Structure 1
Amino acid sequence: MTAAPLPAPTDPDPTFAELLAARPHLTRHAFDGLVMEEVPLARIAEVAGTPSWVYSAGTLRRRLGALRRALDGAGLAATIHFAVKANPCLAVLRVLAAAGAGADVVSEGELRAARAAGIPASAIVFSGVGKTERELRLALAEDILQINAESAEEVEAIAALAAALGRTARVALRVNPDVDARTHAKITTGRGENKFGVAISDAPALYARMAALAGIEPVGVAVHIGSQITAGMAAYRAAYAKVGALVRELRAAGLPVARVDCGGGLGIPYRDEPAPLPEALAGAIRAGLGDLGLPVMLEPGRWIAGPAGVLLASVVREKRGAAHRFVVVDAGMNDLVRPAMYEAWHGMLPVAPEALVAPLSPAEVVGPVCETGDTFARGRALPAMQPGALVAFLDAGAYGAAMSSTYNLRPLAAEVLVDGARFAVVRDRQGYDALLAGQRLPPWLAPPQEPAR
C-alpha cells in the first residue's frame, strides 16, 4: 500500500502579516526590518554573510517547554529526547540540553555531537536500521540509556558484541505497526513495506529471545510511524493501541517491560495548514498506553527546531524570462533541499522594512545551482527585489542545514544562534580550502612543475 500524495494547496498563500503573526520570534521593525527575537536579521547578514542559517534559542526553549507541559498535563511520566538528525548544530543541542532534553541519535557522529553538547549518556537513545559494529561499540562504551534494535539480526549482533566486551546492553525492540501516517511517502516509517522495525506480530517471540540472551537487558518497546504528521491523531492512536496490546502480551508472558519509546513525527504548519498540538499527541499516548503505568519517551525533532530557524539569503539578481519573473538568490538546493526533494512549501519574508509593505507581483524564486529543480517557490508574491536584498526562508530550523551539501562545490553556509539581544556565529562558513581539503592527486596525475625562472 502506498500513501496518497498530499494535496496541493488551493487557497491563496498567507500574507506577510499572517506569516509573521504565526511566528512570534519574528517581528517587523519600522527601521530595522525583520527582527529575530531582538536582533535585526540585516545585522546578522553584515556579520555572517549569506546564505546563513539563523536559529532562535528562545523558540527552542519555548517549544520544548510546551511539549513538556502537554505531557505533564496528560499525567504522563515522560522524557524528551531531541532527534539530532533534525538539527545537529552543537549550539542548538546545547540550548536543548541545558533545558533538560536528551537526545535520539542515529549515527556515531550524532552520538559524539550529543555528548559534545553536554547531553549525558544516560539520556541518549540510539535508533536506526544500520548501526555498525563500530557504532555499537561506542554506544556500549558510553553506556547510553538505550539502543533501539530494529531486526532479529541486530539483536543477535548486539548480544554477541556486548557479551564479548563484558557489558550488558539496554535494548528496546522497535516494532513496525503497519500504520499509514498519511505523510509524504519518503518520510513515512511505520508501514509494513518500510525498512524500519520488526513486524509487530513477530515481536513477542523476538522479545523473548532478547530476554534469554546474555549481554542484553530488554527494557521496552519502541515505535515511530513517520515525520511531519499533520493529518490528525488517528495514526498515532492506532499505533499506540497496537503497542499497548503488545506490552500487555509481553507482560502476560512474564517478560519485563520498563518503558515505551513513542517516537516523534509531530508536524508543523509550514504554510497555513492545520497541525495538531502537542496536547493532542499527549492525549493519543495516554489513550493507548496510559493504563500501563509505564514511563514513556518522545523523540521530537522538527516540532521543536523547525519553526526556530530561518535561512537568510541575498538576491543575486532579478531575471525576466520569457514566461516568468525570476528572483535568483545566493542560497540553493544544496543549502535547503526540502523544496526540491519533497515539493515542500516554505514561507518567505523580505528583510528590508520597506519591502514588507511594497507592491507585490508573482515570482519564481530560484537558486544558483545548475538544476531546474533548484526552485524554492513558483508564483510567489514578492516585491521588486534589487541585488543584495535580503530574504528569509521560514521554518528552516529542521532538516535544513542537516541535509545540506556542497553540490556544485558550493561551501556550507554559516550558522548563527540568536538569544535575546545577543547573537553569535556558531559555525563558520566553509572556506574553499576546507572545501577541497582531503582531496589529493595520485602521483601519476600530478601536474608538471613550472620551470624555474
Structure 2
Amino acid sequence: MDHFLYRDGMLHAEDVPLSDIARGVGTPAYVYSAATLLRHFHLFDEALAWGPHLVCYAVKAASNVAILKLLGDAGAGMDVVSEGEYRRARAAGVPGDRIVFSGVGKTEAEMRYVLENGIRQINLESEPEYRLLSKIAAEMGLDVPVTVRVNPDVDAKTHEKIATGKSDNKFGIPIARAREVYAELASLPGLKVVGIDVHIGSQLTDLDPFRAAYRKVADLTRALREDGHEITRLDLGGGLGIPYARSNLAPPVPMEYGQVIREEVGDLGCEIEIEPGRLIAGNAGILLTSTIFVKEGEGRDFLIVDAAMNDLIRPAMYGAHHDIVPVIEPTPGADTRAFDIVGPICETGDTFAKGRDMPQVDAGDLIAFRSAGAYGAVMSSEYNSRPLIPEVLVQGDQYAVIRPRPTYDEMISRDSVPHWLE
C-alpha cells in the first residue's frame, strides 16, 4: 500500500496534487510520502513485537537526512555501510547506540570515526577486517560489540547483482568456518562478540530462502554457545521484496516475514535486528517527470521524458520494471498505445520501458514512475552534465524540498582548473 492515489482526476501524494509539486519544484523530481514511510516501518516493528528487537532502516535505500529523521524519530535504528551514511544518520539525530555498521570494505578511518562517535555494533566480514578493528579498539581502550557476517550459501532467488548469500559472493565468512573464526575473535583484545549477522540479498519475493538461512543461523547459535560464546543478538539482514508491477502477485508481507523469524530463531532468546530498506522506502516514492516529445519511429513510438537514466538507473542497470502512469487520471476504457518510454541521454540504455501501453499522452503531460523511492535518488549521477534532481517530502497537505536542484553554475563551479591552464 502507498499514499499515491488518484483523487478528482489527479494523482496525489497524500493530500498534495502532483501537478502542484511540478509547478512549484519543476521536473524531474523525486516525491516521497511520509505516511507511507512510517506505515512500512511500523509494519516491520509490529511483525517483531513478540520479542526484543530493533528495526534498523538500511540507509543505502534512500539516505536523505529528512527521511532518516522521520524514521529515527519513530524509533528506527539505522544500518549504515559507510562513514558518509553514518554521518547522515547522526545528522538526523539518530544516536550511535541505534546504528549498526555493515559493509565489506570498512576503512581504518571509518572504523576510528564510528568508534569515536558511538556505535551499536560492527558487523564484521573478514579476518583482515576484525584483526584491524581489534588493533584500533585496543589502542582506544574500547570493547567494541561485534557480530560476524556469515555466508550461508543460500540461493536468494533474486537478481544476480543483488544476491549476497551464495558462496561465490563477496560477502561474509563461509558459515562452515564460523566456529574457528569466533574462536579467534574471542582471543582478540578490544572486541566483544554479541551475535551473528546474515544477509542473503535484496528484492526477495519468496520466504523459503530466508527460512533456510535462518535455520542455519539457529544451528550456528547453538554450536557457538556450546563453544562458550555469549550470543545475544541475531542480525538477520533485510531484503524483503516489493511489488514493482501491480499486476503481479504481491510478495510476502512483513507480518509473514516476522513469523518465519519467530519460527526459526524465536526460541533462542536473542534480540532480533533486521535491516529493511527497499520495502520501507520503495513504494513510498515516485519519480515525477514531464513528456518532452511524442515521437513516431519506424515500427515503434517513443515517449521522450525529461527524466533519464542518470536520475533513475535501475531499468538500465537491472532491467528493472516500474509501473508508469499519467498524473491526469485516464478515463475508464480509454484507448491505449504502446510506447518505448525513454530519456534524453545519449545512450540506447536510457530506456525505462519498451512497448508499454499508455493512454493518450501529449508533450508537456506529467508522468509518474511508481515504486521509485528506493535506490533511485541515492544512485543518481550528473551524467551528461545533468544536475541532480530535487527530492520532495510530503506530509498531509504540505510538502517541502529536502534536496534542492543545483543550478548549472553550482554544478560547474565544483570543478577547478589547474593553474597551468589559466
| TM-score, with length taken from structure 2 | 0.97
| SS of equivalent to 2:122 | strand
Q: Among 327, 330, 348, which residue is 1:372 paired with?
A: 348
Identity within the alignment, % = 50
- Displacement of 1:36 in angstroms is 1.1
Q: Is residue 205 of structure 2 the alignment partner of residue 234 of structure 1?
A: no
1:410 maps to 386
Q: Among 116, 119, 124, which residue is 2:91 paired with?
A: 116
In 2, distance between residues paired with 1:26 and 1:438? 36
Q: 1:222 and 1:132, CA in 2 relative to 1: closer, same or farther beyond 3 A?
A: same
CA contact (8 A) 1:350 1:356 kept: no
**Cα shift readout 1:233-288 (whole Å, capped 9, x = no counterpart):** 11111100111111101100111112100000000010023301112211221122
1:130 maps to 105
Q: 1:208 and 1:27, CA in 2 relative to 1: closer, same or farther beyond 3 A?
A: same
| SS of equivalent to 2:273 | strand
**Cα shift readout 1:367-401 (whole Å, capped 9, x = no counterpart):** 01111011011111112322211000000010000
2:189 maps to 214
Q: Is residue 57 of structure 2 the alignment partner of residue 82 of structure 1?
A: yes
Q: Is residue 407 of structure 2 the alignment partner of residue 431 of structure 1?
A: yes
Q: Among 241, 253, 258, which residue is 1:282 paired with?
A: 258
CA contact (8 A) 2:2 2:283 kept: no
Q: Among 191, 200, 209, which residue is 2:166 paired with?
A: 191
Q: Residue type matched to 1:233 in 2?
A: L
Q: Among 46, 49, 67, which residue is 1:69 paired with?
A: 46
- Displacement of 1:293 in angstroms is 0.8
2:6 maps to 28
1:151 maps to 126
In 1, distance between residues paired with 2:309 and 2:135? 43
- Displacement of 1:355 in angstroms is 6.9
**Cα shift readout 1:159-183 (whole Å, capped 9, x = no counterpart):** 0011112222111111000000000
- Displacement of 1:354 in angstroms is 5.2
In 2, distance between residues paired with 1:356 and 1:218? 60
Query: Which blocks of at least 5 consecutive residues in structure 2 are unaligned?
Result: none
1:18 maps to none
| SS of equivalent to 2:344 | coil
1:327 maps to 303
**Cα shift readout 1:133-168 (whole Å, capped 9, x = no counterpart):** 110011101120000000011010000011112222
2:314 maps to 338
In 2, distance between residues paired with 1:379 and 1:76? 48
2:14 maps to 37
CA contact (8 A) 2:330 2:359 kept: no
In 1, distance between residues paired with 2:332 and 2:16? 17
2:23 maps to 46
| SS of equivalent to 1:311 | strand
In 1, distance between residues paired with 2:334 and 2:30? 26
In 2, distance between residues paired with 1:76 and 1:273? 30
2:231 maps to 257
1:15 maps to none
Q: Residue type matched to 1:111 in 2?
A: Y
Q: Residue type matched to 1:25 in 2?
A: H
In 1, distance between residues paired with 2:123 and 2:419? 46
| SS of equivalent to 2:241 | coil
In 2, distance between residues paired with 1:143 and 1:166? 14
Q: 1:235 and 1:354, CA in 2 relative to 1: closer, same or farther beyond 3 A?
A: closer
Compute the RMSD of aligned alpha carbons. 1.2
- Displacement of 1:131 in angstroms is 0.4
**Cα shift readout 1:382-431 (whole Å, capped 9, x = no counterpart):** 12322211000000010000111111111100000000111111110122
Q: Among 235, 238, 249, which residue is 1:273 paired with?
A: 249
In 1, distance between residues paired with 2:342 and 2:332? 20
| SS of equivalent to 1:265 | coil
In 2, distance between residues paired with 1:224 and 1:133? 23
In 1, distance between residues paired with 2:195 and 2:259? 21
CA contact (8 A) 2:2 2:284 kept: no
The runs of 4+ residues in structure 1 deviating greater than 6 Å are: none
Q: 1:355 and 1:367, CA in 2 relative to 1: closer, same or farther beyond 3 A?
A: farther
Q: Residue type matched to 2:273 in 1?
A: M
CA contact (8 A) 1:349 1:356 kept: no
Q: Residue type matched to 1:59 in 2?
A: T
Q: Residue type matched to 2:380 in 1?
A: S
In 2, distance between residues paired with 1:253 and 1:356? 66
| SS of equivalent to 1:114 | helix
In 2, distance between residues paired with 1:30 and 1:405? 35
1:201 maps to 176
Q: Among 287, 310, 328, which residue is 1:352 paired with?
A: 328
1:19 maps to none
**1:366-405 equivalence runs, <5 A:** 366-405=342-381
1:244 maps to 218
Q: Among 56, 59, 70, which residue is 2:33 paired with?
A: 56
**Cα shift readout 1:37-66 (whole Å, capped 9, x = no counterpart):** 100000001111000000000001111111
